[in-house]
Amino acid sequence: MKRKTSLMIKRTFDVLVSFTGLVFLAPVLLLIAVINLKIHGRPILFSQVRPGRDAELFRIYKFRSMTSQRDSKGDLLEDSMRRTKFGDLLRATSLDELPELWNVLKGDMSIVGPRPLLPEYLQHYSKHQMRRHELRPGITGLAQTQGRNELDWETKFDLDVKYVDEHTLFLDLQILFKTLVAVFKREGIDPIDGGSMPKFGE
């Protein structure tokens, strides 16, 4: 009963925050969309299928942060060749994540929860790691306040499961505050070795 009440409070919080955010941030969303169209072209949004609560698939939306430049064979160029300064700014400030407020309002996601990862990772999770799907995935989460991309996968998943077991509205508020601080300081954007985050299971 306590868990059911906690989830109801969490969902109410999600709806209020996502709706308010979409309304008040509408001018910012429009401005980013216009600039994105000019720099990165169409489509303005990047969408991809991700596993959500109980590993059910949904489509996540973000602002694109790279161009769609292709080589002579029609294949996309490497990420490093498609990155732009504006796209890097979107990622560094997490502004590329703002369209996910729509996912939250729809009920696909939560404001705070384990980050939604690629469907191909599901086959590599241990039983313990799979527990990260007991809650809706979040725009931000406990792992994002503890080092973000500087953490290895195992540490991230341990933090995800810890959040599943210990989540409260107060913890969500703490995580939101720490996320804003981390974004402002631009902490943990890239892996600690300066390279790209390897895919889980490789």
Domain membership of residue 108 (yes or no) is: yes
Give me the domain span that covers residue 100.
Answer: 2-185
Number of domains making up the chain: 1
Domain membership of residue 96 (yes or no) is: yes
Domain membership of residue 145 (yes or no) is: yes
Domain membership of residue 118 (yes or no) is: yes
Domain membership of residue 50 (yes or no) is: yes
pTM over 0.85: yes
> Which amino acid, one-letter code, is at 68?
S
Domain membership of residue 201 (yes or no) is: no
CA distances from 101 to 28, 109, 111, 136, 165 (A): 13, 8, 8, 13, 24
Tell me the pLDDT tens digit for each residue of 140-199.
999 888 876 678 899 999 999 999 999 999 999 999 999 888 877 766 554 433 345 667
Task: For 103, list phi and psi in degrees, rounded to 5.
Answer: -60, -35
CA separation for the pair 107, 124 (Å, rounded): 26
Tell me if residue 162 falls in helix, strand or coil: helix
Tell me if residue 114 falls in helix, strand or coil: coil
Angle at 134 between CA 165 and CA 97, to 5 degrees: 100
- For residues 158 and 141, the answer to whether their CB atoms sit within 8 Å is no
